[in-house]
Amino acid sequence: MWRKSKPYLLLLPAAGTIILLFFGGIFDGLLKSFGYFPAIGETQLTLAAYDRLLHSGSFWESMALTLRIAALSSLLSAVIGALLAVGLFFLTDSMKKATPKAWYRLFQLPLTIPHLVAGYIIVLLFMQSGFVSRLFVAFGWIDDITDFPVLVNDPFGWGIILTYAWKEAPFVALMLYPVLSRIQGSWREVSRVFGAGNWQFVREVVVPVMIPAWVIATFIVFVFTFSAFEVPYLLGVTYPSVLPVYSYQLYTSGTLADRPEALAVNMILAAFTILLGLVAYYFSKRWNVLKGWS
Amino acid sequence: MKIYPITAVSVLALALSACSSEQAGSATDAESLLTDDWSVIQEAAQGQEVNMYMWGGNDNINTYLDKWVAPRMKEQHGIELTRVPMNDAQDIINQLLDEKTAGKSDGSMDIIWINGENFKAAKDNDLLWGDFTGQLPNFNDYIDADAPEVSQDFGEPVEGLEAPWGKAQFVFVHDESKHETPPKSMAELADWVQEHPGQFTYPAPPDFTGSAFVRQVLYETTGGHEQYQQPAAEIEDLEQRLEPMWQYLNSIEPYLWREGETYPESLAKQDQLFASGEIGMTMSYDPALAASEVLKGRFPESTRTYLLDGGTLANTHFLSIPFNASDKAGALVAINELMSPEAQTAKLSPENWGDLTALELEKLSPEQQQAMNEVNLGEATLSIEELEQNRLPELSSDYIDIIEKGWTEHVAKE
């Protein structure tokens, strides 16, 4: 009995804290999004905040921008990540042990950098008065720093997409690489025996093996970029802003009256994220990504 | 090694005595603090641990409190002052609201540093303790309690709920070596902006400084501040009255940094643009900020600050005690100490902070006045006289909300 329940009991303090703080916070936010806030004398539950939100143009513009940025960032990092993983796989295949390991470590490096720092690095590098722009002027490729294309705080969100591509591509690559590394060396030889070139080997063996993990990794990146705050806050434009920033602007607007709306935005974000999570989970079950293959 | 057990015992004794005194009806004790003699309060404050919750985003301010204030508090009053950094004064109000919701009577905050917008929210929701400023000797000695900048905070009557700590004033910051004659009115600014396209911008409201800049525009383009001294709800044609301000802001927009497509999201970003030379001007609600940035080497040596000919916005910032503070006596003594001429003089120096004093200069003794006048404010800072002669009062906070929302609608979206 003790042996069986011991792991669960040991997990209890950590799990309890997480449940209390995480779900407690979500529940509290949900209540407040319905306008329930006893400390300021509001005790009635209404859907007014959601109603106002769904009828406001700013909300839908934010939604469109958020979806566009999340879709483009996840697609871009998925493609780059897949190329990196395949490249890493062939490196391992053709070289001695030490070199691919060094490359592998190099790809791990961006994972250790916080998103806020990554965003700031992009600001410092790619702003019109940034490092790259000044370098271009110094080399005479452009006449003035204002000739440099606007990549940071641009209405399309290139700066944000760039940051995510740089941050998440290695994440995708490192999700895929362990899957690829299980392709046995003999398979390559067998494919050669049957006359397959490198390209055919990739198409017929590597890609099919990679796809399930790749789709899941892309899902994760999409959900993350969809609900992330700091990078769009730092690199976005004043208007329109992505949903998490929009929520922050409402929440900090000074009046308590806007809070239900701010929290309603968060609830919509959370609901959407859960929905996407369920979809990802469904596919992962179906394709057995979690169990792997043998 | 010998000291260790003794300290442990005394800490234990202190903790026990603190417990027992609190159990003996802390509510009645707290009420009597509002009428007790100052010596009784000082005695009660001995050994208390005072948590000061405040915005933690400025190294100079933090160092001033940790290195200058806290040791003196310990030495002179036996008070352990702990600074608790917060991201925004709004977070302090949020946390207090949560404590109130949870029915927490021995709160974690003893002193809070808030500004007008948050003060109104705190006052409206009964988050502050009571009318305490009359108890403070330094308040009674050095403050003119009837002066409008002390009796009102962003148009909201203070009613003794908070004590003035310092004053700030809106200033523009420019690089003298690049632009010798900076624009000193909104009309001149419009011309300047057209002559120097891309060289000017302001932080997007609700950033505190950006919002203040918009109010500055409001005063000049709609005919002065006097008309806004009544509640916003009482002005029927407010929408129309604000119209010239939106027109002005939209008229300069095409010539702003990045053609007004976007605005810096914070003053920090704006300052960075200025420091890297991408824009030619910045602004601050802290008259000494430019001086301390020059000291740090971020802004060029030739950085100067200036005011508009018609004067600029000024406000007073305040310290308050929450309704559920655990160590109210300690909080009273600490706030009194922060308002002492010595602490205020140290605060004035740009090396410490550079914040203007809340005290009435005429009420200080000649020596104290001299000490204050001798503080080197740095070349970038204007003299206290010049600042004081060009002050404009703040708007009440209900306008600020209308203006910040209106800005998004009328300027950012256009």
What are the tens digits of pLDDT across the range A197-207?
888 888 888 88
**Contact check, Cβ <8 Å, B404/A39:** no
In whole numbers, what is the pLDDT of chain A averaged over residues? 86
Is there a contact between B337 and B323 (Cβ–Cβ < 8 Å)?
Answer: no
For B352, list phi and psi in degrees, rounded to 5.
-85, -55
Question: B88: which chain A residues are within 8 Å (Cβ-Cβ)?
Answer: 252
Chain B contact present for A56, CB below 8 A: no
Least Cα distance to B102 among A171, A237, A39, A61 occurs for: A39
- If one compares B398 and A115, the residue with the highest pLDDT of the two is A115
Q: What percent of chain B has pLDDT over 70?
A: 93
pLDDT at B333: 96
Region A183-200: what's the mean pLDDT? 81
Residue A261 clears pLDDT 80, i.e. is over it: yes
Q: What single letter denotes the amino acid at residue A9?
A: L
Of the ranges B161-175, B180-194, B221-235, B325-339, which one carries the lowest mean pLDDT score? B221-235
CB atoms within 10 A of CB B281: 24
Is there a contact between B112 and B92 (Cβ–Cβ < 8 Å)?
Answer: yes
Q: Any idea which residue has 């004053």 for tokens? A: B167
Determine the residue among B263, B276, B279, B396 to mutate to test chain A binding: the one whose Cβ has the most chain A Cβ atoms within 10 Å.
Answer: B276
**Contact check, Cβ <8 Å, A252/B88:** yes
pLDDT at A80: 94
Q: Tokens in use for A238? A: 């004043």
Of the ranges A10-19, A189-198, B300-309, B359-368, which one carries the lowest mean pLDDT score? A189-198
- If one compares B230 and B78, the residue with the highest pLDDT of the two is B78
Chain B contact present for A191, CB below 8 A: no
Give the span between the Cα atoms of A227 and A229, in whole angstroms. 7
Residue B197 clears pLDDT 90, i.e. is over it: yes
Chain A contact present for B207, CB below 8 A: no
For residue A129, the chain B residue with the least C-alpha distance is B278
Question: A58: which chain B residues are within 8 Å (Cβ-Cβ)?
Answer: 408, 413
Region B143-164: what's the mean pLDDT? 91
B306 confidence band (pLDDT: 50, 70, 90):
very high
pLDDT at B236: 87
How far is residue B364 CA from its own chain's centroid? 22
pLDDT at B7: 46
Give the span between the Cα atoms of B143 and B81, in whole angstroms. 24
A288 confidence band (pLDDT: 50, 70, 90):
low
Domain range list for chain B: 28-165+317-377, 169-314+393-412
Region B2-16: what's the mean pLDDT? 45
In whole numbers, what is the pLDDT of chain B averaged over residues? 88
- If one compares B133 and B56, the residue with the highest pLDDT of the two is B133
- Which structural domains are found in chain A, ordered by start? 57-253 (1.10.3720.10)
Q: What single letter denotes the amino acid at residue A194?
A: F
pLDDT at A53: 92
pLDDT at A36: 87
What are the tens digits of pLDDT across the range B169-192?
999 999 999 888 999 999 999 999
For residue A230, the chain B residue with the least C-alpha distance is B265
pLDDT at B268: 85
Chain A contact present for B197, CB below 8 A: no
Q: What percent of chain A has pLDDT over 90?
A: 37
pLDDT at A200: 86
Give the span between the Cα atoms of B230 and B236, in whole angstroms. 11
ipTM attached to this prediction:
0.71
- If one compares B79 and B400, the residue with the highest pLDDT of the two is B79
Q: What percent of chain A has pLDDT over 70?
A: 94
What are the tens digits of pLDDT across the range A150-162?
888 888 899 999 9
Q: Tokens in use for A21? A: 């703080």
Reduce the DSSP state of residue B355 to 3 states and report it: coil
For residue A147, the chain B residue with the least C-alpha distance is B258
Least Cα distance to A71 among A270, A207, A215, A226 occurs for: A226
Give the span between the Cα atoms of B202 and B249, in whole angstroms. 11
Of A58, A153, A252, the CB nearest to B90: A252
- If one compares B18 and A259, the residue with the highest pLDDT of the two is A259
Chain A contact present for B156, CB below 8 A: no
Is B169-314+393-412 in the same CATH topology as B28-165+317-377?
A: yes
Region B338-361: what's the mean pLDDT? 91
Least Cα distance to A252 among B325, B164, B211, B52 occurs for: B211
Give the span between the Cα atoms of A221 and A127, in whole angstroms. 25
Q: What is the per-residue DSSP string for B223-256?
A: T-SGGGSS-GGG-TTHHHHHHHHHHHHHHHGGGS
- The b-or-e profile of B60-76 (16+ CB within 10 A means b, else e) is bbbebbeebbbebbeee
Give the span between the Cα atoms of B262 and B269, in whole angstroms. 12
Region B358-368: what's the mean pLDDT? 91
Give the span between the Cα atoms of B195 and B252, in whole angstroms. 11
Question: B413: which chain A residues are within 8 Å (Cβ-Cβ)?
Answer: 58, 239
Q: Tokens in use for B295? A: 């000291």
CB atoms within 10 A of CB B45: 23
Residue B215 clears pLDDT 90, i.e. is over it: yes
pLDDT at B22: 41
**Contact check, Cβ <8 Å, B206/A252:** yes
Give the span between the Cα atoms of A31 and A23, in whole angstroms. 12
Give the span between the Cα atoms of B50 and B110, in whole angstroms. 6
Of B204, B278, B404, the CB nearest to A254: B404
What are the tens digits of pLDDT across the range B22-48?
433 344 467 788 888 999 999 999 999
Region A41-58: what's the mean pLDDT? 89
**CA distances to A62, B208, B224, B245, B402 from B215, in Å:** 27, 11, 11, 9, 11
B202 confidence band (pLDDT: 50, 70, 90):
very high
Q: Tokens in use for A89? A: 């796989």
**Contact check, Cβ <8 Å, A238/B100:** no
Residue B21 clears pLDDT 50, i.e. is over it: no
Q: Tokens in use for A66? A: 């958020």
Q: Is 0.95 topped by the overall pTM? A: no
Residue B218 clears pLDDT 90, i.e. is over it: yes
Least Cα distance to A41 among B122, B398, B101 occurs for: B101
Residue A165 clears pLDDT 80, i.e. is over it: yes
CATH 3.40.50.460 for domain B28-165+317-377, yes or no, is: no
Q: Tokens in use for B252? A: 């300069």
Task: Output the CATH code of domain B169-314+393-412.
Answer: 3.40.190.10
Reduce the DSSP state of residue B185 to 3 states and report it: coil
Determine the residue among B258, B272, B324 to mutate to test chain A binding: the one whose Cβ has the most chain A Cβ atoms within 10 Å.
Answer: B258
Region A87-96: what's the mean pLDDT? 74
pLDDT at B10: 46
Give the span between the Cα atoms of B55 and B358, in whole angstroms. 18
Region A240-254: what's the mean pLDDT? 86
**CA distances to A163, B199, B255, B271 from B192, in Å:** 35, 9, 10, 19
Residue A179 clears pLDDT 90, i.e. is over it: no
Residues 6+ apart with CB under 8 A from B124: A40
Chain A contact present for B271, CB below 8 A: no
